[in-house]
Chains A and B, each alone.
Chain A
Amino acid sequence: MRVYQFRHQRAKASVARVRVRDVKALAEAAVDAALGAGASYADARAVSLRRQFVITKKGQVEDVSDTESEGIGVRVLVDGAWGFAGEGRLDEAAARDAAVRACAFAHAAPGRHDTSLAPVEAQSGEYKTPVERDPFGVPLSEKIDLCLRAEEGMRHADVKVTVAMVRAQREHKVLVSSEGAAVEQELVECGGGIDAYASAEGISQIRSYPSQHSGVSGQGGWEFVEGLSLDGEAPRVGEQAAALLRADECPAGRTTIVLSPEQVVMQVHESVGHPTELDRVYGTEAAYAGTSFLSPDDLGSLRYGSELMNVTADATTPEGLGTFGFDDEGVPARREAIVEGGVLRGFLTSRETAARIGAGVGGSMRADGWSRMPLVRMTNLHLEPGDGTLEDLLADVDDGLYLETNKSWSIDDKRLNFQFGTQIAWEVKKGKLGRMLRDATYTGRTPVFWSKLDAIGGRDAWRLFGLTNCGKGQPGQEAHVSHGAAPARFRDVEVGVSA
């Protein structure tokens, strides 16, 4: 997901306490200055962000860090052209200066500009993540103890490196626009994960929990991390990493595959989430993240997958990293269908792209901190559940594979040809799990692959995964997004791609 996609996993040491000050007045001053400098529309986001990371590795504390960043980002429309400036000082002079510089950049921007925005009622209000236990109030020693305990649990003779990580983030932001929007939000998230690296005789294998992508995170308090049971899962993770060293390689061929919820989430992210971002459809990410195999005309008619396929974008999902009261254009959070019964029913939109396609009002605009322009991003994008358990899905597989936990990921610039690898797989023979396999991969083309979907697990098997490394934009931005999915079964898939 790095890039348009998941950015290759990076641990960001991060921050401290949100400062309390009257940032709304600064944002209003910036908007006033922008209008005075010729803007027909302006919005200003004042953001304070604190992040904290604790990482232990091989029984030592590898990283204890606490980072804060604050500033104001001013976005303007001048004669139909966008301009944006981010300023790291939160004072009125800096806010006004950023507004004027944004207008100057918009004035200078070459090209034929005719940006218009879908009308939306100006919102005012507040939103706060419900938190039981403030993650920044949890002593560092408790966090370190948890990580070291989890590492201890992964110990095995063949496991050479163990890593445990927990994180916390609090973002306070105020958005003011020239149309009268004035919203204030405080979003709190935390998460964690563990990895075991085993190696012997020239073979190296990794096993992770709950995912390889910096674990998982969710909005909420420390109770979210406690619910992950990192130390409880650790022995299984260590044992499986070691067992993979002696597992056979995944064979090549075409077969039925059942994907774990965490791998389904990756499939949804890369082959449904990104291609339905309407800015990509219109080409604005063409040079970097890429475009989409979809066109605006496909709305309401394109068959994306089988009739079992229902995908929903929902910025109201409890614990979702894409949950908010308002997006970064001030559009209220909403839940909407993206794919219904296998047919494309919606795009992820901004006010600009909504106006261009003539449908919707936006609601998916998100920015990475104060120094970046909002872009169309996923919020919480879910594959809706079907019926049954994992065992039910396996029971109808005579000969196939069960694949669990994403390891590698790649998809082409139009989001058609993809190839994924998972950390672990098992043969499925006559409905039962058989021998363990390593280095499993599968590949396909997006609509063909989704047309092979013939079973999805039920609500009880549905899990939410929050990922913090979805990259897009230039300059680069990382979005935090969540996806929910249950295990899913696909027929006639190519597996075992090798060099």
Chain B
Amino acid sequence: MSRYVELAEQALHAAEGDEAEVLVQAERSGVARFAGSVVHQPTLIDNAVVRIRIVRDGKAGWAATNRVDREGLTEVARRAAEAADGARPDPDFPGVASPADYPEIGGYDEETAGLGADDQARLAAAAIEAVPDFELYGYFSSGVTELALAASTGLRAQQSLTDAVCLCLAATEGASGWAEQSAWRSTDVDPAEAARAAAETAGRTRGAVELEPGSYAAVLEPYAVAELLRWFAYDSLGAFGFLEERSYLCGRIGEQAFDPKISLADDALDSRNLPKAFDFEGTPKQRVELVEDGVLRGVVWDRLTAARAEDGQVSTGHAPADSWRYYGPLPMALSLAPGDAASTGELLERIGDGIYVTRLHYLGIVEPREGVLTGMTRDGTFRVRDGKLAEPLVNLRFTVALPDVLREVPGLGRELKLVNLSDLYDERYPYAALVPALATARFHITGSGSGPGL
């Protein structure tokens, strides 16, 4: 038994109530953040958090601490009980999860777990030294995340996760390009290659010009695709948005809403992603079909929202971390099926005339029910003419209804890219989307912003 399960059991023993559930989330990580080709914010973190949920007389309360000695565990159990006593019974509360069998998945690599500060600095240096003609901005980070659960039902669960990420912005005045690599094995991340890819894009962005607002066909790199799907998911692909009538999927399940080429799932069991065996209440992860051949199929659920649905829903293994509880269950391993385009060049040929977007910036939800999002392009936006990349463009403001973007899709790339989606807030919990490049017939540009580069 891992020491984190033992820790969860110790906390469980301190809990007094009708039911209790303990989650331990531990992190040992390093972030070698660089700017101007200099590591300027190197951060090492070593921490373990114990979260207890206690149920007394049908009332649930939560408390958490990172004091993991006997005194700390006793105190956190007392505070969770106090929170429960102060709460009110929730008639929908389904109780804590029962023991379950968990799938054997990957997601942990000893070599990645063993990386220390010297290694993280060395791998950051590999990226920096690969692009002498540009200044490099971004980070190399690796870490180990430990998840352990123990519940009064007898449930025990444990998983060790590793992740390595290299984010690269190659930039100078008036030019910038972006590339990244993420994996749960650090040997699958090549910082120099990511840096060179960023520099190659940056090299083409000098002399960017503005673009008339309007609707354009577009080829979206996987970075842009992942970001659009992430923001669409907040209201439309989780149980809260669905139950509370903010989701685009409300009243549309079974509808052919998107191009038949679009099949979207959430699949944390896929070893090409950053695989997870269970969610934050110990329910085994399931692959969930969200969209099949353009037909809307459903959203993701945890135990409470499934109980509230009152139509036979069951948890799909998407109970969120503490810091995401406000959003409810969300798909955090999005997987968009690939298409048949052998290359980005082929996607460009399919749209003929339009724009090419590498990466997006600062998205916002304008109108959730119709999936309307706004944001900016950045670090590699180009005009497409005659099926080829043409002049570079300044950063463009887009305001799109994502369903419109996905309604007519001339093609998707054959190759899938794992795109990091964690911004490393709160306790480390690596997650990413596995997506191809995508060509759309419609991408609505509503303005021009600043130019590329610094």
| A and B interact physically | yes
Q: Which of B35-43, B256-264, B337-345, B433-441 contacts A (4 or more CB under 8 A)?
A: B35-43
Question: How distant is the Cα of A9 from the Cα of B323 in the complex, in angstroms?
Answer: 10
The 8 Å CB contact of B35, one of A81, A141, A287, is A287
Q: Find chain B residues with CB under 8 A from A112 CB.
A: 38
Q: Find chain B residues with CB under 8 A from A85 CB.
A: 43-46
In the assembled complex, B382 has its CB within 8 A of some CB on chain A:
no
B369:A499 contact, CB within 8 angstroms: no
Q: Which of A40-73 contact B (CB under 8 A)?
A: 55, 60-61, 63-71
Smallest beta-carbon distance B150→chain A, Å: 19
The 8 Å CB contact of A110, one of B38, B51, B171, B448, is B38
A88 closest partner in B (C-beta): B47
In the assembled complex, B411 has its CB within 8 A of some CB on chain A:
no
Question: How distant is the Cα of A19 from the Cα of B66 in the complex, in angstroms?
Answer: 12
B450:A414 contact, CB within 8 angstroms: yes
Known: A113-B38, A287-B35, A417-B450. A141 touches B376 (CB 8 A): no
B113-151 vs A, Cβ < 8 Å mask (1 yes, 0 no):
000011011101100110000010111010000000000
B44:A475 contact, CB within 8 angstroms: no
Q: Which of A196-204, A254-262, A333-341, A381-389 contacts B (4 or more CB under 8 A)?
A: A196-204
Known: A204-B246, A408-B374. A12 touches B137 (CB 8 A): no
A249 closest partner in B (C-beta): B367
Smallest beta-carbon distance B247→chain A, Å: 9
B121:A110 contact, CB within 8 angstroms: yes
Q: Find chain A residues with CB under 8 A from B370 CB.
A: 499
Known: A3-B423, A286-B454. A421 touches B46 (CB 8 A): no
The 8 Å CB contact of A105, one of B42, B46, B66, B395, is B42
Question: How distant is the Cα of A214 from the Cα of B428 in the complex, in angstroms?
Answer: 23
B225-264 vs A, Cβ < 8 Å mask (1 yes, 0 no):
0000000001000000000111000010000000000000
Q: Which of A413-444 contact B (CB under 8 A)?
A: 413-414, 416-417, 419, 421, 439, 441, 443
In the assembled complex, B63 has its CB within 8 A of some CB on chain A:
yes
Known: A105-B117, A410-B375, A474-B31. A16 touches B65 (CB 8 A): yes
Smallest beta-carbon distance A104→chain B, Å: 5
Q: Which of A269-302 contact B (CB under 8 A)?
A: 283-288, 290-291, 293
In the assembled complex, A144 has its CB within 8 A of some CB on chain B:
yes
Smallest beta-carbon distance B234→chain A, Å: 7
Chain A interface extent, by class:
35 or more
Q: Find chain B residues with CB under 8 A from A439 CB.
A: 366-367
B369:A86 contact, CB within 8 angstroms: no
The 8 Å CB contact of A412, one of B45, B48, B244, B450, is B450
In the assembled complex, B378 has its CB within 8 A of some CB on chain A:
yes
Residue contacts A-B, CB under 8 angstroms, 5 given: A7-B425, A14-B64, A65-B62, A283-B35, A499-B399
In the assembled complex, A93 has its CB within 8 A of some CB on chain B:
no
In the assembled complex, B192 has its CB within 8 A of some CB on chain A:
no
B444 closest partner in A (C-beta): A499
The 8 Å CB contact of A284, one of B41, B67, B88, is B41
Q: Find chain A residues with CB under 8 A from B49 CB.
A: 69
Q: Find chain A residues with CB under 8 A from B118 CB.
A: 104, 108
Smallest beta-carbon distance A2→chain B, Å: 8
Known: A12-B322, A478-B425. A286 touches B169 (CB 8 A): yes
Question: How distant is the Cα of A71 from the Cα of B45 in the complex, in angstroms?
Answer: 10
Q: Find chain B residues with CB under 8 A from A490 CB.
A: none
In the assembled complex, B95 has its CB within 8 A of some CB on chain A:
no
In the assembled complex, B421 has its CB within 8 A of some CB on chain A:
no
A439 closest partner in B (C-beta): B367
In the assembled complex, B288 has its CB within 8 A of some CB on chain A:
no
Known: A61-B87, A64-B62, A144-B88. A412 touches B397 (CB 8 A): yes
B86:A111 contact, CB within 8 angstroms: no
Q: Is the interface of A mostly helix, strand, loop or mixed?
A: mixed
Top 5 nearest A-B pairs by Cβ distance? A140-B86, A111-B38, A417-B449, A11-B326, A476-B425
Give me 19 other A-B pairs in contact (C-beta within 8 A), A109-B39, A110-B124 excluded: A64-B60, A66-B62, A69-B49, A82-B41, A86-B45, A140-B83, A197-B244, A290-B378, A409-B364, A419-B446, A474-B33, A474-B167, A474-B423, A476-B426, A478-B425, A499-B370, A499-B400, A499-B404, A499-B444
Which of A144, A290, A417, A475 has most B Cβ within 10 Å?
Answer: A475
Q: Find chain A residues with CB under 8 A from B399 CB.
A: 419, 497-499
A420 closest partner in B (C-beta): B364
In the assembled complex, A473 has its CB within 8 A of some CB on chain B:
yes
Q: Find chain B residues with CB under 8 A from A477 CB.
A: 425
In the assembled complex, B222 has its CB within 8 A of some CB on chain A:
no
Q: Find chain A residues with CB under 8 A from B368 CB.
A: 204
Q: Which of A91-115 contact B (CB under 8 A)?
A: 98, 101-102, 104-106, 108-113
The 8 Å CB contact of B61, one of A65, A161, A419, is A65
Q: Which of B324-352 contact A (CB under 8 A)?
A: 324-327
Question: How distant is the Cα of A60 from the Cα of B92 in the complex, in angstroms?
Answer: 10
Q: Find chain A residues with CB under 8 A from B367 CB.
A: 439, 499
Q: Which of B395-454 contact A (CB under 8 A)?
A: 395, 397, 399-401, 404, 423-426, 428, 444, 446-450, 454
A108:B121 contact, CB within 8 angstroms: yes
The 8 Å CB contact of B67, one of A60, A68, A408, A419, is A68
B369 closest partner in A (C-beta): A204
A64:B61 contact, CB within 8 angstroms: yes
In the assembled complex, A346 has its CB within 8 A of some CB on chain B:
no
In the assembled complex, A372 has its CB within 8 A of some CB on chain B:
yes
The 8 Å CB contact of B83, one of A3, A65, A291, is A65
Question: How distant is the Cα of A105 from the Cα of B29 in the complex, in angstroms?
Answer: 12
Q: Find chain B residues with CB under 8 A from A408 CB.
A: 364-366, 374
